[in-house]
Amino acid sequence: MHSPKCWAAPWIVACLMTLCACSTVPEVPPYPPLPAGLMAPCPDLELIKDGSLSGLARQSLKDAAQYGTCADRLKKLQSAVKLREQLDSLYKP
């Protein structure tokens, strides 16, 4: 017949192993690098060289296109940062 001590030992070991497995903290995976284009600063706007109405209209169209490109790049950067923040929140203990 088995003694009570021999019967309890495997259960104690099993419980200790279970507790050790539950206390592990997930490791945060490395983030891929952000594309270099997203980190580029927006270019400065050109000064108006021609004071005529047509020159002002041309410059306004260039500025609007340049702003649209820069705003799009900023939105992509904000999305990438927001995704990283969401991933960080998943791995907080």
Query: Would you say residue 47 lies in a domain?
Result: yes
Tokens representing 8 are 């309890």
pLDDT score of 5 more than 60:
no
Residue 80 burial by Cβ neighbours in a 10 Å radius (0-12, 13-18, 19+): middle
| pLDDT tens track for 31-67 | 888 888 888 888 898 888 888 999 999 999 999 999 9
Note the pTM of the prediction, 2 decimals.
Answer: 0.57
Q: What local confidence, expressed as pLDDT, does residue 71 receive?
A: 93
Residue type at 54 in one-letter notation: S
CA distance 91 to 76: 23
- Do the domain assignments include residue 43? yes
Question: Residue 28 falls within a domain, yes or no?
Answer: no
Residue 85 lies in a domain: yes
pLDDT at 17: 63
- 21 pLDDT higher than 60: no
**In a domain? residue 7:** no
Number of domains in the chain: 1
Range of the domain at 82: 33-93
Tokens of 15: 């419980």
Convert the pLDDT of each residue in 63-83 to its tens digit. Answer: 999 999 999 999 999 998 898
